[in-house]
Amino acid sequence: MHPLERLVNLVALLLESRTPLTFEQIRSKLAEGYGHQDASSAKRMFERDKDVLRDIGVPIDVVSTDAWDVEHGYTIDKDRYYLPEIAFTPEELSALFVAVRSAGDVSAEEAVLKLLSGADRGILDGLGAPALAGEADPNLTRAAEAVAEGRRVRFAYRTSRGERSDRTVDAFGLAVRGGHWYLVGLDLDRAEIRSFRLSRISDDLDIAGEGTEPPDGFRAIEHVRAGPWGPGDAEETTATVAFSPDVAWWATKGIAGADTIRTRTDGWVEVRLAWPPGEGLISWILSFGPDAELAEPPELRSEILERLEEILAS
């Protein structure tokens, strides 16, 4: 195993563990990295790896694992390892945006705009319309204004299935996911919070009066469903996928809405995922090879079996 891969695996293992791990536990779980040598050589290699990680800032701590302070385990202090959430006041965002606009740096301007991803209405209020003026997509400016001012908007919308309809939405927030901007708000006809990709809005956003306040704790990004198959706003059902113990701990990291159902007796973990239309989800499941198995729905399972049969026949 490459030393870098061994270091990454060690960090991932310690971050995933809820309790400190002894060296023997680490050795058994990372057998490919430390299990092929005798115990003393493996321990020396582990100590070198631990020192390397500490040198680059990974806070690996040694703690007692028993009341008599005889046996010790290793853990990573997550509060010291993970970066704190970066937050800006409205005034700071406004100043930053004005600075990059004055410099004429389009890339920097886009980067500042992405700081609005998941922002609450307070930050958008601070920016206001002038700071957002001049965007190439007029709907982004109008959406930001509607969110900042707590407005209700109307627009014609095309879903990922090609279905068109008129929507009336109380604008709550903006979010970026998968390289696309989304307006998130209360869909009045459906009486629930939905996300709408700005590039699928057929016409201009029209202001339709005063909107309502978002619920307490609202974050726009949490309402944009997405996975490796792409974010979607279409009507979705769910799929249940089982992952082997080797990949279950990382397979669905960063996928909004992924819900762990249970861990089976064989160690496989069943996860419920949003299932948008299209081929993306099938390809993603197949990318795990034998480490992923679709449990339901039956129609999607049939499509995967057909795909595998085509592969075997080719």
pTM for this one?
0.40
267-293 pLDDT per residue, tens: 999 998 876 655 567 777 888 888 989
Nearest CA to 300 out of 234, 252, 239 is that of 239
Nearest CA to 64 out of 52, 74, 55 is that of 74
Residue span of the structural domain in which 207 resides: 90-223
Q: Lowest-confidence range among 35-44, 63-72, 128-137, 219-228?
A: 128-137
Q: Which of 103-117, 130-144, 230-244 has the highest average model confidence (pLDDT)?
A: 230-244
* Distance between CA atoms of residues 294 and 284, nearest Å: 11
Same domain, 216 and 96: yes
Domain assignment of residue 146, yes or no: yes
137-157 pLDDT per residue, tens: 567 778 877 887 889 999 999
The structural domain count of the chain equals: 3
Structure-model confidence comparison of residues 306 and 129, the more confident one: 306
Domain assignment of residue 229, yes or no: no
Same domain, 254 and 195: no
Tell me: pLDDT of 113 over 80. Answer: no
Nearest CA to 172 out of 205, 209, 144, 199 is that of 144
Same domain, 140 and 159: yes
Same domain, 52 and 142: no
In the numeric block, which tokens belong to residue 119? 């922002």
Structure-model confidence comparison of residues 79 and 108, the more confident one: 79
Same domain, 15 and 68: yes
CATH assignment at residue 211: 2.30.30.520
pLDDT, position 130: 35
Domain assignment of residue 232, yes or no: no
* Distance between CA atoms of residues 121 and 217, nearest Å: 11
Over range 195-211, report the average pLDDT: 86
Same domain, 218 and 263: no
- Of the three residues 32, 54, 81, the one that is the final residue of a domain is 81
Where b means 16+ CB within 10 Å and e means fewer, 250-259 reads ebbeebbbee
Mapping DSSP onto H, E and C, the string for 229-271 reads CCCCCCCCEEEEEEECCCCCCCCCCCCCCCEEEEECCCCCEEE
* Distance between CA atoms of residues 106 and 115, nearest Å: 15
Tell me: pLDDT of 74 over 90. Answer: yes
pLDDT, position 204: 82
Average pLDDT, the chain: 76
